């Protein structure tokens, strides 16, 4: 995609993707196969205590519910087996620091893969970072980002989670976040992400990625699916609603998160339309925000 000039006037006139230069024809071409647009939100009020400490037993239960709901399995073990077979090599891709993915969640995913899907420990690796050789060696990727706003990309959760795979993260900052979707189409990456699992236990809705406790809150949730754009779209809705609640009026993300709609319309990675997303809500309902 070229670096066409986008101005704030474009947003007053048209949609984000159109501002970024998308053509509906190319979008239709990219949508070669039907998109999965099922997104699951599982929340438990008691998963965090007032000191933000994670209750691992509750988190395990949430994780089991999430995997069953995403895969449609009757048991968590069936769900994990649908995500990864014993012969697979699974790369976990968490947010490593600055509002990182809770280590408890990473541990539970790894132990679930071992105990419920039967993968040996040596076939589960941390694939986050610039080393594409590790990514290339994996047959399955599990995206494990933490939910946060980002001052350079608007939202810095699912699509941005693979930014280090590009080897040049600065090339995707500011309005260039519109191109984040292309990283998901790298040959080492494309088609390998079998689960997008967002840590929304204690998200950040402004000033990310540096932690700012004024804008962090206990959402106490996991948000998951197999369509990265649909999951990101739900995340964006939650962040947007939370920001409105804080300010009592619309408080748009800036720069605008062009990457979400562009991932759909330009790169065909999934759906960014809430109308096309089937949302399953499990557990705690207070301030669900979506």
Partner 1 sequence: MFFLFLATLPMTINTNVVFPIQLPRQVEHWSRPDSAQTITAQTIFDYMDGAGELYLGFRFDSLQVVEYTAEGSYNLLVEIYYMQESDDAFGLLSLDLDGERIDWGAAPEASSPSALYGAGLLRLWAGPVYARVMAFQETETARRAVLELGRVIAAQCRSARPPKLIQMVQPLFTNAPLKYFRSHLVLNSIFYLASQNILDLDLSVEGVYAHEGQMKVLLLHYPEARRAAAAAQFFLQSYLPDHQSARCGGFYPLESGYCACFHAGVYLILLFDCPDIDSGRQWVQTIECRLRTGDRL
Binding mask 208-247 toward partner 1 (x if CB under 8 A, else -) reads xxxxxxx-x-------------------------------
> Which of 6-14, 32-40, 62-70, 184-192 is the region at the interface with partner 1 (rule: CB under 8 A)?
6-14
Would you give the distance in Å from CA 287 to the centre of its chain?
20
Does position 100 interact with partner 1 (CB under 8 A)? The reply is no
Q: Which residues contact 229 (CB under 8 A, 6 or more apart)?
A: 158, 159, 260, 263, 264, 269, 270, 271, 272
3-state secondary structure of 43: strand
Spatial distance between the Cα atoms of 59 and 40, rounded to a whole number of angstroms: 15
Does position 251 interact with partner 1 (CB under 8 A)? The reply is no
Q: Which residues contact 171 (CB under 8 A, 6 or more apart)?
A: 179
CB of 175 to partner 1, least distance (A): 3
CB of 158 to partner 1, least distance (A): 16
* Pick from 82, 126, 84: nearest CA to 107: 126
Q: Which is nearer to partner 1, 175 or 193 (CB)?
A: 175
* Pick from 49, 78, 82, 47: nearest CA to 199: 47
Q: Which is nearer to partner 1, 50 or 74 (CB)?
A: 50
Does position 153 interact with partner 1 (CB under 8 A)? The reply is yes
Q: Which is nearer to partner 1, 73 or 100 (CB)?
A: 100
Binding footprint of partner 1 on the chain (CB under 8 A): 3-9, 11-13, 51-52, 97-98, 150-153, 156, 169-170, 173-176, 207-214, 216, 254-256
């Amino acid at each position: 995609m070229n670096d066409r000039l986008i101005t704030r006037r474009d947003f007053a006139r048209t949609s984000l993707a159109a501002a970024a230069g998308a053509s509906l024809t190319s979008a239709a071409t990219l949508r070669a196969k039907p998109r999965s647009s099922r997104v699951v939100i599982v929340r438990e009020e008691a998963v965090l205590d007032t000191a933000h400490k994670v209750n691992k037993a509750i988190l395990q239960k949430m994780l089991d519910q999430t995997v069953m709901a995403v895969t449609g399995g009757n048991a968590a073990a069936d769900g994990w087996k649908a995500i990864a077979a014993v012969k697979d090599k699974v790369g976990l891709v968490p947010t490593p620091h600055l509002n990182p993915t809770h280590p408890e969640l990473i541990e539970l995913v790894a132990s679930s893969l071992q105990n419920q899907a039967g993968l040996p420990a040596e076939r589960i690796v941390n694939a986050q970072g610039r080393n594409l050789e590790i990514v290339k060696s994996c047959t399955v990727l599990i995206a494990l980002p933490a939910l946060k706003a980002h001052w350079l990309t608007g939202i810095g959760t699912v699509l941005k989670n693979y930014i280090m795979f590009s080897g040049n993260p600065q090339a995707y900052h500011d309005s260039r976040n519109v191109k984040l979707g292309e990283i998901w189409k790298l040959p080492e990456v494309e088609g390998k992400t079998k689960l997008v699992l967002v840590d929304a236990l204690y998200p950040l809705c402004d000033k990310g990625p540096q932690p700012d406790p004024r804008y962090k809150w206990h959402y106490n949730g996991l948000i998951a699916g197999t369509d990265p754009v649909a999951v990101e779209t739900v995340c964006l809705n939650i962040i947007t609603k939370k920001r409105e609640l804080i300010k009592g009026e619309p408080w748009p993300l800036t720069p605008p998160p062009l990457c979400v709609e562009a991932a759909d319309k330009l790169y065909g990675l999934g759906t960014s339309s809430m109308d096309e997303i089937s949302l399953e809500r499990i557990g705690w309902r207070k301030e669900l925000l979506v």
